[in-house]
Chain A
Amino acid sequence: MGSDTYSQGTAAPSRDKNSLVQMSAIQSQSRADEAHLIKRVCEGEREVFYELVRPYERMVYATAISIVKNPADAEEVAQEAVLKAFSKLSSFRGESKFSTWLVQITYNEAKMKLRKAHANLYESIDDSQQTENGEFWPKDYADWRPIPSELLEENEIRQAVQHAISSLSANYREVLILRDVQRLSIKETTTILGISEGSVKTRLHRARLLLRDSLAPGIDGCWIKGQPYRKVRPW
């Protein structure tokens, strides 16, 4: 059971051995390149730092917005996180991937911003509905046949998905963002969030089912029929 590698199960075919070897080689090369860039930055080539963080800009922004939930604050958090990463770069030992380290800094910065703003006083839909240890039952059994990914190109659908994600409570939203949006491994997610592997799996499971309940065509899914998104749940 591959708990530390991200896979989409039946959503995508399993990779064969050759492609896994190839991927591993690319990852090793990429980490070696990053180590070289980090060394150059630490030796005084400040401009190279942008080259180092550029591949992860979206990752940093998505992490930030998943916590602070508005674009302006997310951008501020992203900038603060990147600047903090620069100031702490000499302490980076390469024990985790640079991207994991950067996302962890972003996560901490975003949490700090929330604490300062007391914005986490309101958390939403599902906190009160079940405990993490309780069973979660789907709310209906609407048939939701596979949909083409081009649908996401439609702004309205993207907004519906974003809205559904932002309606999740923080515990579920953060795990979903790290695992399903950023595609981090379970191990990386446990490192960033400081929770157990079991909690990561449980929260991810809940998050996915809650999103399904929220987006399934039988409930809120007007958008799939070409109608404007309309929230019909009470939360």
Chain B
Amino acid sequence: MPTIEISCVEVWREISNYLDEDISVDLRERMEKHFGACAHCTAVLDGTRNVVGLVGDGTLFQMPEGFNKRLYDKIRELPPNVPRE
């Protein structure tokens, strides 16, 4: 694993912040230079990015069928007035 201004371990430590754009410009540049030369870290980056994409897809957690109606029915059973503090 090459060390190009920044080591692989340092890159792994910051990969999540890199994806969230929560790192300094200087660190970003050094990491990008590292990715350009290190296939291992690029693989870790691609995989982590894929995970963020898959998890954030929005369709991951499907509500059970009829969930909305059952929730609505529960709300209709509530007393008309919100309790006062």
Contacts and interface: CB of A to CB of B under 8 A. Distances in A.
Interface of A: 1-3, 6-11, 14, 41-42, 44, 46-47, 49-50, 53-54, 57-58, 61-62, 65, 71, 75, 78-79, 82-83, 86-87, 89-91, 135-138, 141-147, 149, 151-153, 157-158, 161-162, 165, 176, 180-181, 183, 201, 204-205, 208-209, 211-212, 215-216
Residue of A1, A42, A147 with most chain B CB atoms under a 10 A cut-off: A1
Contacts of B48: 208-209, 212
Contacts, number: 174
A79 B47 CA distance: 36
Contact of A9 (B18, B47, B82): B18
How many residues of B sit at the interface, in one of the four size bands?
A: 35 or more
Given A90-B85, A144-B46, A204-B16, A57 B71 contact: yes
Given A10-B49, A212-B47, A176 B55 contact: yes
10 contacts: A9-B21, A54-B68, A57-B63, A58-B61, A79-B70, A135-B13, A145-B46, A149-B54, A149-B57, A205-B16
Contact of B60 (A10, A82, A87, A162): A162
A136 to B, nearest CB: 7
B39 A86 contact: no
A57 B68 contact: yes
Contacts of A162: 60-61
A146 B22 contact: no
Contacts of B49: 9-11, 146
B3 interface: no
Contacts of A212: 44, 47-48, 50-51
B53 to A, nearest CB: 6
B8 to A, nearest CB: 9
A8 B18 CA distance: 9
Interface string B49-85: 1111111110111111001101110111011111111
A201 to B, nearest CB: 7
Given A58-B63, A79-B74, A152-B54, A201 B17 contact: yes
Contact of A8 (B12, B19, B46): B19
A208 B82 contact: no
B60 A138 contact: no
Nearest to A63: B61
